Chain A
Amino acid sequence: MKVKSTLENYLFVLPAVIIFTIFYIIPFIWVFQLAFYDWDGIMPTKFFVGLGNFIEILQDKIWWRSIWQAGYITLIALTFQNALAFLLAWACDRQIRMKNFYRLIFFIPPVLSEVVVGLVWQWILDGNYGLLNHWLVSLGFPHLVRNWLSDPKTALTTVAIVHSWKGFGWGFLIFLAGLQTIPRELYEAARVDGANAWESFRRITLPLMIPVAVLVGILTILGTMQAFVLIIAMTGGGPAYHTQVPVLRILASMRGSSRFGYACAQGITFGIILVIVSFIQYRFSKRARQYQ
């Protein structure tokens, strides 16, 4: 009776466990296996190359450049995008009209797909017929007109700004939820004690928001470093590798040059970098909290 009941309980998790094993655990193990082989994905035989793929990665200039470029986009997302998100949340947290309307609008970019956002912005930023250049000319700034996405000087920053446009709504919602958990009485008490708006912001809002900011920071780093579909839709990684990011390189190793082993080794290298980065951020945030 007891055994039958336990078996019955297993049946509940069985479908989830089967799907998870086949589509998550097996591929997970294969990444680590394939990384030591040279394989085109079709041939029945794979060539064992030991650490060969990893050694090649160390010398792969485009690969490391793609990581720096993802880092640059992430830096813009961490500063510009999150500062904007926080300011908007702070403005919406006051007793203000149309609060729900703003919240509704700010989360529209995040629900759209990266393909849609990328292709629409690519059209707006088009060098010859784009809306942005048209506006710049009409407003009297013709010297600012450029091929935003095909000029190596502007391509990466432009991509980063569109990425921030698409992403700030997430931070906004999380910051707003965080701000709303701060009890109003705290502000009241501070006001009674003679604190002005800036003081109560610095002494109440900021310290209480640090954990939330850390959370948003970690989510931003992990999300932005791995972003690539938006870039495929906007530039495809060009001009001349100027907007390449790591996941795009992995996809290119697999689909472009049919090097499955190398692609897996790149995946592992990048995964390790991500874990290290979020660990550092976590440690820093802990220290920052201690100083509060």
Chain B
Amino acid sequence: MKTGLYYKTKRITINLFIHLFLLSVAVTCIFPLLWMVASSLKTQETIFRDMSFIPKEWHFENYYRAWREGGFGRNFLNSLFYTTSVVIGIIIVASLAAYAFSRLRFPGQNVFFAMFMAAMMIPIPGSFVPLYVLLNKLHLRNTALGYILCMINVGLSTSIFLLKTFFDKMPKELEDAARIDGCSKLGIWWHVALPLAKPVLAVVVVFNALNVWNEYVLALIIFDAKPLMPLQVALMTFQGEFITQYPLLMAGLTITALPIIIVYLFMQRYIVKGVTQGAIVG
């Protein structure tokens, strides 16, 4: 006869192994980041010899130097500007369209919607080639506007889908009440629909913000001038120019990764929601 104690010990042992497994993977996820921060605090002389995760002296001036001499300060502000502009643009453009697809009636509606959805499914590898040609023709290459418009387009389909799904499930009563009060369609969109859509707007904001902040290839082909580059491209350019300047490079990487990690820690809920919802799309 197996006793209760037997089962209890068995369960504890199993749980212990499961925790060991989960913890070891968690450590694997974290140590590269710790190593990045540790390396960013060492000097050019010590970095190739000092293999400690907690260096004896912490050279925070590396961050100042990366920001000023490495030019990452400028690129950081660029990234911030592009991310904010694109996210605001997407919110307005996508929510207008999603609201119309969900609530308003007009000929060709389904065709337009299908078009956006098809864009989400069909992969065009190398679409940056014609985009480069197009932006050259429009004299938008090497401009902030060109990059912002491209990135708005990148996030448009998924955002429209998420917002439309939400509007479809939203009760109509509030909008009807606003209409009876004489509110225009645009007024209803702004005063009623958007405030109600806050939870899904949060998902849209977080996802697009991460996407723009981390974007590399379009920025690479659009910007030739370093003062206009966002962080991701500037990091690669820096690495190409100063191959062995590891402390400054690691400081630059930390500057790039930190905002993302902070946003992630605070908005984790929305990211999990977005991934699981986004997966259903695919």
Q: Is the CB of A113 within 8 A of B216?
A: yes
| A282→B263 CA distance, assembly (Å) | 36
Contacts A131-B51, A232-B236: A123 and B104 contacting too (C-beta < 8 A)?
A: no
Interface majority SS (helix, strand, loop, mixed), chain B: helix
B177 within 8 A of A: no
Question: Judging by beta carbons under 8 Å apart, are B131 and A27 in contact?
Answer: yes
B127:A28 contact, CB within 8 angstroms = yes
B54 contacts the other chain (CB 8 A): no
A12 touches B99 (CB 8 A): yes
Chain B 202-220, CB within 8 Å of chain A: the 1/0 string?
0000000010011011000
B60 lies within 8 A of chain A by Cβ: no
Chain B 147-183 per-residue mask, 1 if CB under 8 angstroms from chain A, else 0? 0011011001000100000000000000000000000
Q: Does B3 contact A (CB under 8 A)?
A: no
B153 with A24: CB separation less than 8 A:
yes
CB < 8 Å: which of A15, A23, A255 contacts B131?
Answer: A23
Name the interface size band of chain A. Answer: 35 or more
The answer to whether A94 touches B18, judged by C-beta atoms less than 8 angstroms apart, is: yes
Question: Given A6-B106, A20-B156, A123-B250 in contact, is the A114-B268 Cβ separation under 8 Å?
Answer: no
**Is the Cβ of B35 less than 8 Å from the Cβ of A120?**
yes
For A115, list chain B residues within 8 Å (CB). 214, 216, 232, 235-236, 256
Whether the Cβ atoms of A27 and B214 lie closer than 8 Å is no
**CB-contact partner of A108 in B112, B160, B232, B261, under 8 A:** B261
* CB-defined contacts of A271 to chain B, threshold 8 Å: 122-125
Residues of B in contact, count (CB < 8 Å):
83
A264 within 8 A of B: yes
B256 vs chain A, min Cβ distance (A): 6
- From B21, B35, B123, A226 is in contact (CB under 8 Å) with B123
Complex contacts, A222 vs chain B, CB 8 Å: 123
Chain A residues, Cβ within 8 Å of B88: none
Contact A113 B130 (CB under 8 A): no
B260 within 8 A of A: yes
* Option from B112, B119, B126 in Cβ contact (under 8 Å) with A24: B119
A6-B189 contact, Cβ under 8 Å, with A24-B119, A108-B33, A263-B129: no
CA–CA, A109 and B257, complex, Å: 10
Q: Are the CB atoms of B132 and A267 closer together than 8 Å?
A: no
Apart from A111-B264, A254-B126, 9 more pairs, CB < 8 Å: A12-B189, A96-B15, A96-B19, A97-B19, A107-B271, A113-B216, A115-B235, A123-B35, A233-B236
Chain A contact residues, CB within 8 Å of chain B = 6, 8-10, 12-13, 15-17, 19-20, 22-24, 26-28, 30-31, 34, 41, 84, 87-88, 91-92, 94, 96-98, 101-109, 111-117, 119-121, 123-124, 128-129, 131, 134, 165, 170, 173-174, 177, 215-216, 218-219, 222, 226, 228-229, 232-233, 246-247, 250-251, 254-255, 260, 263-264, 266-267, 270-271, 274-275
Q: Which 5 A-B pairs have the closest CB atoms?
A: A267-B126, A12-B100, A113-B214, A27-B130, A23-B153
